[in-house]
Amino acid sequence: MHKILVSRCLLGHRVRYDGGASGPFDQLAHWQAEGRVVALCPEVAGGLPTPRAAAEIPGGQGSEVLDGRAQVLTSDGEDVSGEFLDGARQALALVQRHGIRIAVLKAHSPSCGNVLTYDGSFGGIKVQGAGVTAALLARHGVQVFSELQLPEAAAALASLAQ
């Protein structure tokens, strides 16, 4: 049975930066009941508290953070790149340990966003780009989806079973 890495906030865990959650979602609950879900919040795993200051990547590119060319900064100007990188490495370790090829991660997050992230201005402006964890997983061949793409994630999972 193929396992799926899922952001903890999407499972209803109160780990978002503001202390809230984003889920649960029926599809994710179904996969959880099947024993497929491996849950992780990369930011908390990397050592950040809940709640915590909002963080964004100036330029919105997690790949730039991975390559040491950008930082993850809080709204207070604190560099939390190290925590984000540590959480991403923990996500990759889980993926490798469990043979995971599909992840469902929180949309727009500086860790988990897979298509759009915030631009670093803290003005709600989104740009094309992936968060730090999503970018690292994609580099290692994991298909990364968000909660806005659950039908696509389900189809990708079904194709693995064939």
Task: Using 50 as the pLDDT threshold, list the residues of the chain that sit under it.
Answer: none
As given in the structure block, the two tokens for residue 118 are 């915030």
What's the pLDDT at 23?
79
Residue 18 is predicted with a pLDDT of: 93
- Tell me the pairing of strands 102-105 and 37-40: unpaired
Buried b / exposed e along 109-125 (16+ C-beta atoms within 10 A)? bbbbbbbbbbbbeeeee
The pLDDT of residue 162? 76
Sheet holding 102-105, edge to edge: 37-40, 4-7, 102-105, 143-146
Per residue in 87-97, pLDDT (tens digit) is: 999 999 999 99
| CA dihedral sign, ordered 71, 74, 79, 81 | negative
